[in-house]
Structure 1
Amino acid sequence: MTIAVPSDVRVWLAGGVTDMRRGMNGLTLQIQQGLGRDPHAGDLFVFRGRRGNLLKILWHDGVGLSLYAKRLEQGRFIWPSPADGAVAISAAQLGYLLDGIDWRNPRHTWRPSRAG
Structure 2
Amino acid sequence: MISPSPSTRIYLACGATDMRKGFNGLAVMAQQVLHKNPHSGALFAFRGKRGDLVKLLWYDGQGMCLFSKRMDRGKFVWPVTKTGKVHLSSAQLSMLLEGIDWRRPERTDASLLAG
TM-score normalized with structure 1 length: 0.89
> Structure 1, residues 87-112: CA drift from partner, whole Å, max 9, x if none?
00001100000000011111258x78
* Matched position secondary structure for 1:15: strand
**How far off its partner does 1:114 sit?**
4.5
Structure 2: distance between partners of 1:47 and 1:106: 21
Structure 1: distance between partners of 2:96 and 2:44: 13
Root-mean-square deviation (Å) = 2.0
Aligned equivalent of 2:85: 86
**How far off its partner does 1:4 sit?**
2.0
**How far off its partner does 1:62 sit?**
1.0
Gaps of 5+ in 1: none
Structure 1: distance between partners of 2:13 and 2:78: 9
Structure 1 runs of 4+ aligned residues shifted over 3 Å read 111-116
Structure 2: distance between partners of 1:38 and 1:8: 16
Aligned equivalent of 1:42: 41
Structure 1: distance between partners of 2:113 and 2:68: 41
Gaps of 5+ in 2: none
TM-score normalized with structure 2 length: 0.90
Answer whether contact 1:32 1:38 (CA < 8 A) is retained.
yes
Answer whether contact 2:33 2:84 (CA < 8 A) is retained.
no
Distance 1:102 1:84, change over 3 A: farther
Answer whether contact 1:15 1:80 (CA < 8 A) is retained.
yes
Answer whether contact 1:7 1:92 (CA < 8 A) is retained.
no
Distance 1:78 1:84, change over 3 A: farther
Aligned equivalent of 2:10: 11
Aligned equivalent of 1:53: 52
Answer whether contact 1:16 1:85 (CA < 8 A) is retained.
yes
How much identity, in percent, do the aligned residues show? 50
Structure 1: distance between partners of 2:39 and 2:85: 17
